[in-house]
Chain A
Amino acid sequence: MLKNLVHWRAGKFLLNRVSRAGATRCLCTPFKNQTNESAALGDAEPAIRKHVNPFAQTTSTPLPDNEVNESKEERDKRLKVLQLEADIAHQEGRRVPALDFFKEHHWAHVLTLPSKSARIKYYAFLWQIEMKKESEQRKKALRAEGTERRIAEMRKEREENTHIIYGLAHTSMFLRIYDSTINHWQNNRLTRAMQFAPKIVLDCSYDAHMTNREASYAAKQLMLCFAENRAHDEPFDLHYCNANFKGRCMQSLERFIPTMHNPEFPMNVHSECFTKLFPKQQLVYLTPHCREDLVTYNPDDIYIVGAMVDTVNNEPLSLAKAKRLGLRMARLPLDHYLQWGSGSGKSLTLNQMITIMLDIKKTGDWNAALQHVPRRKIIDLGTEQAQGRQALNRRANKLNVRIDHLLKYENNRPESTAFATPQKVRQHKDGLDFNLDSWATGKKKTSRNKCEGGA
């Protein structure tokens, strides 16, 4: 079965490869190398100043400040000085862990950092890890004695038991379902999805525009995309395109999913661009920076989501890419269906995007699909109104003021007025007055028994 799968996948790509007549520029190289656009404008410009992000990781172009061919002795010398720096900072009591906490990969990372303040922040991060570890060990030592006692008791009980031991790991009526069983079942569903379901593309070409940390976050979100897609009732055929396997994002993704490259694992990762894999007229780029809303989901279209975490860099890169490739663009109709609060802003993570698309495919209902947007970001008008009314009622009860004649006409503004007095100026609350004769007799209070208070 595996062999067939491999052949089938190879065949599918051959089918999907669209032969284009005429000259087609490969428009999928990273943005930094696009100098053709300015030439098209006809302006003779001096060498365009590259906007270099010192934290971006690039494989082809090295950072202008760091010489890549630094000799080994220089690197060793620099490492020694940095170790001395960390040691002295630790001796001064700053937030730097002790020298024996550092490992090889820590020093490798420290050597790539561009400035002293970056190093200080990294050392503070490692210091926090060290402190947490020490605190864990202290707590463990405290708990160790209690744990030992408990284990000894349990062992004694089990030895003394001559009859069957009933329990989850021993004799029980529950069948144990292993994680791997579920995984196999879900993978099987995914292979069917790869054959029959609509496709969605995750465009991983934004490595150069993300910092290291953002790339790690992106990798985690990509992993969650895969997981949520797999666990859904009707999965998509998910494709990761433009993947740069040496880059930070893909390296982290490989640590999350080590079997990613195995041929039998149902994950499609390509280093080519989606324009090579799928026909252009089917592609729709989902970007928050354009003006057209996605009104109805079209299962024949292949939607593209840009796999970028844009906390630091908020340029409209996906918009620029879609415009350059000449693709259709759309954005989710968030403004139409949701009321955004002043919370963390309108950005959605990748896995939230995928679950929204999954739900809109399944139900066709945007309100149901947009349930996946975190509630803290939006203002839910219904609950807010209810909360407001409750607070008002509580306050009015405290002050013994009647407001229900105002609230009754809340939606009907012309009829309600603060000057209209209710029928009774002051009234004892119904059911709260005490009558000794009828107390605890079980008789219901009727309007005749109620004493209506005057003054």
Chain B
Amino acid sequence: MEKDGRPSWDSPTQFVLACVSYAVGLGNVWRFPYLCQMHGGGGFLIPYLIMLCLEGVPLFYMELAIGQKMRLGSIGAWSAISPYLGGVGLASVVTSLYLCLYYNILNAWSFWYLFHSFQPVLPWAECPLNSNLTAPIEECEKATPTQYFFYRETLNISPSIEENGGIHTGQALCFLLTWVLTYLCIVRGVQSTGKVVYFTATFPYVVLFIYLIRGFTLHGAVNGVKYMFTPKMEELANPNAWINAATQIFFSLGLGFGSLIAFASYNQYNNNFQRQAITVSLINSGTSVFASIVTFAIYGFKATVNYESCLERTRILLLNTFELAEDRITIDSVFEWVEKLNATYPQQFSEIADQLENCNLENELDTAVEGTGLAFIVYSEAIKNMPVSQLWSVLYFVMLLLLGVGSMLGNITAIITPLRDFKVVSRMSNEVFNGLVCVFCLLLGLGFTTTSGNYWFTMFNDYGATFSLLFIVLIEVITVSYIYGIKRFEKDIEDMLGHRPNWYWKIMWTVVSPLLLIIIFIFYIVTYIQGGTPTYQAWDKEQGKSVVTNYPVFGQVFIGLLLVSSVSCVPLTALYVFCRKRKQGKHHKQENSLNAVSF
């Protein structure tokens, strides 16, 4: 404990591991590989690393400095920096609250898949049979077994966001479990969190390493890795690649939520956070690249398996139609036989022409997926084809769980720390207050376990945090550089570290990062406006695939509310403080004049 009674980390290692555990999350696994694929493979690393240096590390450094100096949560810290800008902290807390509400659903799904891995046959490996036991269920036939398991058995998804069934009990149970687990990890605040992060920060790397070895020994994995790493340099000319790199760095490091400020506020005053900031950012980016190598090995395996089963199906079709002996056509000679038979028996061939699939390895590799689709559908499809698939399934979902819980610890600390700075709350014991926050988030989050819950989840994921965070961090960096003053900030850092930050940091904070953020901000606004009505992917039961649907009116209103509610905290708080100061000012003037009169 510090002399001012504020709890603190047992050692700087715990702080670094907590930051790593928070920053390395599901986005490193399911967003970065997608971006790599979209923007020319290995070439994407160039804009990514440049943005890391220009924007990622300086902003990360800045947030840690603020937290360690002010030794308060985000609301208190920003109020101390400038009384009118306490709203920035409040906006961070509101955004973190939205994140906490929906993020734990991902952990619930990981638990669900994990528990279902303890079966002799993985439930997403085969289609279940219909009630007559004559054929697989129709919806499963049209889609794939993995998609069926995700959309029907895990989510029991409704056809659109407007239709709602009840709560999915299995989901709700897993959701309850994730909140109970989260509570266990934060029950005594930093004392508990500090011990948990030793595990949540390190074990995912063990699993990733095991998967790296497994992935590279899989049949066809090299195809995927080659595909990813062949750089397509012409993609660098596309501004989208640079914008996406900047956005990915920004969200991957978890800036603007207030978690970094909260974590740093528990540090010793003279902790060397400069080195730690650089270390954590590099670890985070390194993990992204590492995870995408593994993902592409898995992609390559899955694409090769699909391609070869497509070839096998074509081979059997040809054998059966033309009554040839089984060993006349091998998998390698399928294509030449297709041409031969087309030439010799054109009429018979045209009869089966519509059953012939176009088997193409490139097309299979091209199917770029991100988000929950990658994590829960594509990966589980690859896992079911591996030998001893239960083991790999368990390992994978434990890793997803740890990544998710690690990030969740940061998210919930971002809410608890600023609120504990208020006197009303600090009188309550740690355990009771943390329990109240968890119960509150649990009850509100149960809405995501309903049949339309996945659509609400997507809405929160796409709109709840993205725009507001850009706004928050932009205000943060402008405040620190210009309103608080870069010279004062320098002095504070010198006070803590013993030396001033060099010219590189100062240029980044004052010029480069704000400029980059404004560019991304404008880009987002333009995309929103150009995009027209916001849309989402609804699962169509009849067709067995996702269809693009417009959000209904209440959905769009809700999106607007999400955006406005966090962004408006900043001007509203400024107004409130301004009015209060004016009232106090008047009050003081009255008192002074009274004193003068009552002499």
Please say whether chains A and B are actual partners in one complex.
Answer: no
